[in-house]
């Protein structure tokens, strides 16, 4: 299993906005633990909010990385605010949108939204959450420490997602 | 933009960035010890100031870069007179008078008050 919490990128405006989708599936191991049947209550599988946040952070992180052609080590530095109004269950499609508010040598601030697709009306999404996420370009904020030269943030998996979604990584 | 308008906007940014209450943000409040700012919050604050006021803020311009990287600036855990002189010239918006009495490097972040941020923005806007 790879630590990838988006399935496909559907929209990319370089340096500005990126949209990705995540399909929640009962095939995912974590849904069997979150939450299992217990004390006579049936299982209650819902996508953990932390993993939804991870997905939306990956969405924003790819946008920020792409803006500098993946030269920077883009590290999640801070989630200023995060709201999630409802659960996502197996069969749901989540849509994460990230917009760059500010980007410079030191890092970037982004605004993101989380939506859920209507199960009955194709193309209709309901907003269920939002998060403000700040990223650091780690090489410019090392506080005297030395980081490895290779870009350990952007693995091939991220670039593969861009490519299979129809976007080059350059 | 008047000083009061700058102050109101800075206050709004700090309330948002540091998740503090409105009344906690006073001119003399220190970003770290009073408002709980951590190092990454400084990055967030710089980003938010640039957005809100349309400024370009270079790294180290509002808050100093890591002092301990400069051998001449820190000795035995204290900022040297040379270090203090450099800080004063690079950060004219900051009042170092209290810090000079006990210039422990670990306390340097305490010089950053809300007032220092307001003064910084005021100077930047005035310099066009």
The domain spans of chain A are: 8-31+44-155
Asked if the model's pLDDT at residue A22 lies above 80, the reply is yes
**Predicted local confidence at residue B73, as pLDDT:** 87
**Residue A69 burial (10 A CB sphere; 0-12, 13-18, 19+):** exposed
**Predicted local confidence at residue A96, as pLDDT:** 98
Provide the pairing of β-strand B74-75 with A107-117: unpaired
Contacts of A80 in chain B (CB under 8 A): 16-17, 19, 44
Asked if the model's pLDDT at residue A101 lies above 90, the reply is yes
A32 to chain B, minimum CA–CA distance in Å? 35
CB-based contact B40 A104, cutoff 8 Å: no
Long-range contacts of B88-92 (CB under 8 A, 24+ apart): B90/B60, B90/B61, B90/B64, B91/B62, B91/B64, B91/B116, B92/B123
Which of A81, A101, A107 comes nearest B43 by C-beta?
A: A107
Number of alpha carbons in the 13 Å side-chain half-sphere of residue B63: 25
Please give the domain boundaries of chain B with CATH numbers for all domains: 1-57+112-128 (1.10.1200.10), 64-111 (no CATH)
Highest mean pLDDT among A22-26, B36-40, B88-92: A22-26
The 10s digit of each residue's pLDDT in B106-127 is 888 899 999 999 999 999 999 9
> What does the alpha-carbon distance between residue A77 and residue B39 come to, in Å, rounded to a whole number?
10
Pick the CATH number of A8-31+44-155 from 3.30.505.10, 3.90.180.10, 3.10.129.10, 3.90.1150.10: 3.10.129.10
Asked if the model's pLDDT at residue A170 lies above 60, the reply is no
Flag the least confident range among A38-47, A78-87, A152-161, B9-18: A152-161
Q: Please, what is the angle between helix B3-18 and helix B114-126, to 10°?
A: 130
Sheet holding A8-13, edge to edge: A8-13, A17-23, A93-104, A107-117, A125-137, A74-84
* pLDDT band at B68; cut points 50, 70, 90: low
CB-based contact (8 Å) between A146 and chain B? no
Average pLDDT, chain B: 92
């Amino acid at each position: 299993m790879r630590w990838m919490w988006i399935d496909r990128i559907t929209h990319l405006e370089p340096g500005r906005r990126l949209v990705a989708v995540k399909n929640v599936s009962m095939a995912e191991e974590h849904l069997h633990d979150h939450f299992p049947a217990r004390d006579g209550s049936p299982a209650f599988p819902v996508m953990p909010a932390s993993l939804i946040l991870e997905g939306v952070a990956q969405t924003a992180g790819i946008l920020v990385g792409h803006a500098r052609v993946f030269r920077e080590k883009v590290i999640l530095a801070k989630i200023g605010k995060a709201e999630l109004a409802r659960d996502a269950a197996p069969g749901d499609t989540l849509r994460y949108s990230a917009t760059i508010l500010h980007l410079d040598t030191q890092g970037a601030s982004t605004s993101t939204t989380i939506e859920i697709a209507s199960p009955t009306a194709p193309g209709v999404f309901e907003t269920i959450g939002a998060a403000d996420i700040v990223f650091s370009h780690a090489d410019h904020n090392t506080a005297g420490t030395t980081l490895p030269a290779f870009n350990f943030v952007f693995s091939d998996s991220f670039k593969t997602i861009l490519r299979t979604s129809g976007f080059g990584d350059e | 933009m008047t000083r009061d308008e700058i102050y109101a906007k800075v206050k709004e940014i700090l309330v948002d960035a540091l998740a503090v209450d409105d009344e906690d943000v006073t001119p003399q409040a220190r970003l770290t010890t009073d408002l709980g700012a951590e190092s990454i919050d400084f990055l967030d604050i710089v980003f938010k100031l640039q957005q809100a006021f349309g400024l370009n803020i270079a790294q180290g311009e509002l808050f100093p870069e890591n002092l301990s990287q400069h051998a001449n600036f820190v000795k035995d855990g204290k900022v040297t007179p040379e270090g203090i002189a450099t800080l004063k010239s690079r950060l004219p918006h900051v009042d170092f008078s209290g810090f000079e009495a006990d210039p422990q490097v670990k306390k340097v972040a305490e010089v950053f008050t809300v007032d220092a941020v307001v003064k910084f923005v005021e100077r930047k806007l005035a310099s066009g």
